[in-house]
Structure 1
Amino acid sequence: MTRLSVNLNKVALLRNSRGGGEPDVVRAASVCLEAGAHGLTVHPRPDARHARTDDVIALAALCRQRGVEFNLEGNPFAGAREGYPGFVALCELARPDQATLVPDDDGQLTSDHGFDFARDAARLRAPVSVLQALGCRVSLFADAGADVEQAAAIGVQRIELYTGPYAEGHARGDTATLAPFVDTARRARDAGLGVNAGHDLNQDNLDPFLAAVPGVLEVSIGHALIGEALYDGLAATVARYVRIVGG
């Protein structure tokens, strides 16, 4: 069964646009879990434009209380600054079950590419080692077609496939965009890696993706899910995703 981790960044972004505490990120997280979500994700950026350090600590505590997975995403090379201790330090504070490393620049609007393992493998080894010593399962954001064998050589447990190109292809009726994901997932599993997926997945394109790419362990979905929830309600929307992933 594929597990659903709900990304709550957009709830935090909406709160931050007005100031104050509404909508409440932890309350939204509780609704998602009560509706059947298997875990929670946030990707705090150094500029704190959505999820903040206090959100990370509160959500980590909620996940421990509920016995579900907490997935923390971020760039391990982003430096510390006021309000943001750095990704590895944040993991040390929160002790997430999974740390997903993403090569985002500070000012990047959203994640839009995976690591270049030929270029980045050597410098990834140190933060991966530290995170694993903290007890985190480590996943690396990867493009379809990436050299996932090099990712496996770093010693991580999983990759997360960046599914933006698939979502774009699905929206225009181009089924050919699936093939590279099928091949990359197969090679990852052959190399001993678990496979996660995320970015621009929604209720329309998730089921075909999971049918074509067997063995996906987890999908992280936030932007589309929160957008759909504006129309249909948060609990109902999460429940529909849980049915799609087979939960």
Structure 2
Amino acid sequence: MVEAGYEAISFVHTGPHYEPRAVVTDVKHLIDHLGVVEVRLLGWSQGAAIAQEVALAHPSPVRSAVLIATYGRQNQMDKVLQEAWDSLSVAGADMDPVRLAMGLLTSHPASLLGSDSFVEPFVQIQAEWASKGSASVEARKRSAAFISGYQERLESLTTMTVPCLVVGFGQDTDTYLARAREVAAAIPGSSYVEYPDAGHLEPVIHAGEVMESVIPFLLQH
């Protein structure tokens, strides 16, 4: 994004409240604090849900929004996964292997998980994330609090006025392709790009390919 001429600003929401309205308000406070006339929002997964809610509630400074692996409601499989993650978040270090397995299974396409050369480096990377540490517990609390308050939003998204690009991944077993398609269908005039063979972690492992769709959209708006 920087190479395309943009100033990229990332942030971590740290509370004290994590429900959707509080997070949206804090993002608007950040935009105001930066003193910029206009911004383009890019969010991935839960970040995409946050970005679309900021664009919906505070459209004036938002020129456009890119919503990668997003969702507008909690479906049945997501509820199953959230219950599993909630249980794992309070479990001890003996469940680190289960957290690692869950992380790998929900991050990557099944076609790649059978490849030792692909999986081995991610085992090292995601093992630290899966460990029972204070940082991972706190991150899980933030995520769970947002998800519990973010349920049925598709009807509200039909009032979106900000130009949006929705990106879906066909092998996403975390947020799921069907939910990205629902958001694209709900937002009037949205653009939609789908990567049929990609998993949830596609923006990390193949960032360049995802940006090939994102940058032209940002330049257009």
Q: TM class, shorter-chain normalised?
A: 0.3 to 0.5
Higher helix fraction (1 or 2): 2
Higher strand fraction (1 or 2): 1
Q: Which has the higher contact order (CA 8 A, sep 6+)?
A: 2
When the two structures are superposed, what TM-score results if normalisation uses the length of structure 1?
0.32
When the two structures are superposed, what TM-score results if normalisation uses the length of structure 2?
0.34
